[in-house]
């Protein structure tokens, strides 16, 4: 693998150098030729003022120009040889000539469509710096391997070996997708029956839930090529390149049919078309090309387009029309059984000690995606190796879970004694508050040992999987999140940046409560999530203000509640914080001991 990559890198560098040389030589050549030409042709060139004079004096018979170019060919009356002229502004010049024609002067104005060759001369020179830049950019892309991302996987060596068995959980989704596998394998049966097969399937789901994996599995099961590309590649592309990339992608697909085309992060090109400004126009071109390609499929072409996104609300509605992505499948985060299956699959090639209980790991990781679970097992293997364990032990896995969970919170790093005290009261604040809220899960561990970018953390026992979360539970979650800041405020009468992640999460939850779950009385059960201002106005002039007001109310209320709880239980807050300052870390049983004393 590595050797392969090295060779590829070398090859890329060679290509880059060759391209650079080519561009430089070409540039020099054009310069030379043009220089010579312009010396010879000096007397054949008309200055602009001369040209205007000649036109006014009716000496000009015909003017030929290329659209968009400032150089013209001028044929004078009674002279065979054509002269050249450069105009400062083509549009102004055309208007001027048309005015003369309207005055009754006899001039023929020919506008040729833009052609590369006609322009090759002077335009090429002026474009040269740009061309060199473009070439350099392309080289950079290639050398960084960015070009590789969009690489089209070839049918022969690049067939994916992923099968449905490699995708854990998602049984219902697989069932729904198996029909596509059948279609790819034997399209004629479906055609004969007159059955309509979806052309495009949209996979919705959080990052890491296995969308790419399941798309590959479909290709693997049907044993057809998997051609993929990611929407985010288009974002920084040069004008017009996006659309042509899409065209090439589908040209390739038609050659390799039957096959799967996979477009990852389709929201990057398929965002709702709103205005016509710069980057968006470019996006629109790309999106339009995609729509054109999908609409143009003929019935003999067995191509299924799969696309993935984690922001379905962003998508342009045109993508969802019949014949396009008319089937949508939600890929959920795995439930308990799903997590266990994923853990089993990813521990197959790892050496697990007998004391590892994957069931309990699955129980502890509610809300985790497949990618996070795979990551935990991999981290565990690394930790076990570092600790020189013979096998991956339970403590290695617990450590890995912590690493993945805590990686999410971002408190600032503890430095001074003062910071340490702040952190202790911050974490104690979270922990103590949660202890008094019935819907919240018990504390598992509290720590003020910095971890990565984190100053401290409080871990809770995992929730069992739930389909619904109540309003009470969400409100109490807000109180726990603000408990950190409340702890700092009450004990030290100061607040820190350590709460920034808590505040971010709390605000998101509060906003969801208001706009997505309709949990406030003043707004009621109306879906307001992600709506543009003009859409909000449908519900009343001031609805946008009301949303903000309600979010603020929820947060304020939670902050007040957190402070009240901590004032009421100040002894517990102090006890936990003091213990943290002494021991830096408190586990579940130590925590309960302090609490019950």
- Helices and strands, number each (H, E), in the chain: 22, 13
Q: Which helix (H) or strand (E) holds 152?
A: none
Which of the listed partners (Zn ion, ligand ADP, Mg ion, none) does 484 bind, with a CB threshold of 5 to 8 Å by partner kind? Zn ion
Which of the listed partners (Zn ion, ligand ADP, Mg ion, none) does 167 bind, with a CB threshold of 5 to 8 Å by partner kind? ligand ADP
**Nearer to Zn ion (CB atom), residue 370 or residue 484:** 484
Which of the listed partners (Zn ion, ligand ADP, Mg ion, none) does 370 bind, with a CB threshold of 5 to 8 Å by partner kind? ligand ADP
Q: What distance, in Å, lies between the first and last C-alpha atoms of the chain?
A: 59
Tokens standing for residue 446? 């509290």
Decide: 9 and 48 in contact? Cβ < 8 Å: no
| CB 442, min distance to Zn ion, A | 17
Which residue number places its CB atom closest to Zn ion?
Answer: 484
Percent helix, percent strand, percent coil in the chain, to nearest 5: 55, 10, 30
**Nearer to Zn ion (CB atom), residue 208 or residue 484:** 484
| CB 158, min distance to ligand ADP, A | 16
Distance CA 144, CA 137 (A): 11
Q: What are phi and psi of 128, to 5 degrees?
A: -55, -50
Residue 427 bears catalytic tag: yes
Which residue number places its CB atom closest to Mg ion?
Answer: 212
| CB 571, min distance to Mg ion, A | 50
| CB 304, min distance to ligand ADP, A | 17
Q: Which of 212, 289, 496, 579 binds Mg ion (CB under 5 A)?
A: 212
**Nearer to Mg ion (CB atom), residue 210 or residue 498:** 210
**Nearer to Mg ion (CB atom), residue 212 or residue 309:** 212
Tokens standing for residue 158? 């690049």
| CB 163, min distance to ligand ADP, A | 11
Measured N-to-C along each axis, helices 543-568 and 570-583 cross at an angle, to the nearest 10 degrees, of 80
Which of the listed partners (ligand ADP, Mg ion, Zn ion, none) does 345 bind, with a CB threshold of 5 to 8 Å by partner kind? ligand ADP
Which of the listed partners (ligand ADP, Mg ion, Zn ion, none) does 502 bind, with a CB threshold of 5 to 8 Å by partner kind? Zn ion
Beta strand extents in 247-375 (DSSP E only): 259-264, 303-309, 327-330
Q: Which of 248, 239, 326 is nearest to 284 (CA)?
A: 239
Distance CA 150, CA 145 (A): 10
Which of 233, 427, 488, 550 is flagged as catalytic?
427
**Nearer to Zn ion (CB atom), residue 260 or residue 577:** 577
Distance CA 505, CA 217 (A): 35
Residue 209 interacting with Mg ion (CB under 5 A):
no
Decide: 441 and 435 in contact? Cβ < 8 Å: no
**Nearer to Zn ion (CB atom), residue 499 or residue 536:** 499
Residues that bind ligand ADP (CB under 6 A): 167-170, 205, 207-213, 308, 342, 345, 370-371, 374
Q: Which of 288, 287, 289, 327 is nearest to 305 (CA)?
A: 327
Distance CA 546, CA 107 (A): 67
Which of the listed partners (Mg ion, Zn ion, ligand ADP, none) does 258 bind, with a CB threshold of 5 to 8 Å by partner kind? none
> Residue written as tokens 């060919």?
73
Which residue number places its CB atom closest to ligand ADP?
Answer: 370
| CB 511, min distance to Zn ion, A | 19
Q: What's the length of the chain?
A: 597
Tokens standing for residue 363? 């129980």
Residues that bind Zn ion (CB under 5 A): 484, 502
Decide: 388 and 454 in contact? Cβ < 8 Å: no
**Nearer to Zn ion (CB atom), residue 282 or residue 502:** 502
Which of the listed partners (ligand ADP, Mg ion, Zn ion, none) does 456 bind, with a CB threshold of 5 to 8 Å by partner kind? none
| CB 262, min distance to Mg ion, A | 9
Residues with active-site annotation: 427
Residue ranges in contact with Mg ion by CB under 5 A: 212
């Amino acid at each position: 693998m590595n050797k392969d990559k090295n060779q590829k890198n070398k090859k890329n560098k060679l290509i880059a150098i060759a391209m650079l040389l080519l561009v430089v030589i070409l540039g020099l050549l054009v310069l030379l030729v043009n220089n010579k030409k312009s010396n010879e042709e000096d007397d054949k060139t008309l200055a602009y003022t001369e040209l205007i004079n000649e036109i006014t004096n009716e000496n000009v018979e015909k003017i030929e120009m290329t659209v968009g170019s400032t150089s013209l060919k001028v044929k004078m009356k009674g002279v065979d040889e054509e002269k050249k002229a450069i105009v400062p502004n083509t549009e102004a010049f055309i208007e001027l000539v048309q005015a003369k024609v309207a005055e009754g002067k006899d001039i023929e104005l020919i506008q040729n469509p833009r052609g590369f060759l006609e322009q090759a001369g002077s335009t090429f020179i002026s474009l040269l710096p740009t061309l060199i830049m473009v070439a350099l950019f392309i080289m950079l892309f290639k050398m960084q391997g960015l070009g590789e991302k969009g690489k089209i996987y070839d049918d022969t060596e690049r067939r994916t070996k992923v099968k449905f068995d490699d995708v854990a959980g998602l049984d219902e989704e697989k069932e729904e997708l198996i029909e596509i596998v059948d279609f790819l394998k034997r399209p004629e049966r479906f055609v004969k029956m007159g059955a309509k097969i979806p052309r495009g399937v949209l996979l919705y789901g959080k990052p890491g839930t296995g969308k790419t994996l399941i798309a590959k599995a479909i290709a693997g099961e049907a044993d057809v090529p998997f051609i993929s590309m990611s929407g985010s590649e288009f974002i920084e592309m040069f004008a017009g390149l996006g659309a042509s990339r899409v065209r090439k992608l589908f040209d390739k697909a038609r050659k390799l049919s039957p096959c799967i085309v996979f477009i990852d992060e389709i929201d990057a090109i398929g965002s709702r078309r709103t205005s016509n400004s710069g980057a968006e126009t470019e996006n629109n071109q790309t999106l339009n090309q995609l729509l054109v390609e999908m609409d143009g499929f003929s019935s003999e072409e067995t191509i299924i387009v799969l696309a993935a996104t984690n922001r379905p609300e962003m998508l342009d509605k045109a993508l969802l029309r019949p014949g396009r992505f008319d089937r949508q499948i939600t890929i959920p985060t795995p439930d308990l059984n799903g997590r266990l299956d994923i853990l089993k699959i990813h521990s197959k090639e790892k050496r697990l000690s007998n004391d590892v209980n994957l069931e309990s790991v699955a129980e502890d990781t509610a809300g985790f995606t497949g990618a996070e679970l795979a990551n935990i097992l991999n981290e565990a293997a690394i930790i076990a190796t570092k600790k020189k364990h013979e096998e991956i032990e339970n403590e290695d896995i617990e450590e890995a879970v912590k690493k993945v969970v805590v990686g999410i919170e971002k408190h600032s790093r503890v430095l001074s004694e003062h910071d340490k005290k702040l952190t202790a009261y911050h974490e104690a604040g979270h922990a103590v508050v949660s202890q008094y809220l019935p819907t919240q899960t018990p504390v598992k561990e509290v720590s003020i040992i910095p971890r990565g970018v984190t100053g401290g953390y409080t871990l809770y026992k995992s929730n069992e999987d739930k389909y619904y979360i109540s309003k009470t539970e969400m409100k109490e979650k807000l109180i726990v999140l603000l408990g950190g800041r409340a702890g700092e405020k009450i004990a030290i009468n100061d607040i820190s940046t350590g709460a920034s992640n808590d505040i971010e999460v709390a605000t998101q939850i509060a906003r969801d409560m208001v706009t997505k779950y309709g949990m406030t009385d003043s707004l009621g059960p109306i879906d307001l999530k992600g709506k543009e201002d003009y859409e909000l106005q449908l519900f009343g002039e001031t609805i946008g203000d009301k949303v903000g007001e309600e979010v603020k109310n929820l947060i304020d209320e939670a902050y007040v509640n957190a402070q009240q709880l901590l004032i009421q239980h100040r002894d517990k807050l102090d006890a936990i914080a003091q213990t943290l300052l002494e021991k830096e870390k408190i586990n579940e049983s130590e925590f309960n001991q302090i609490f019950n004393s």
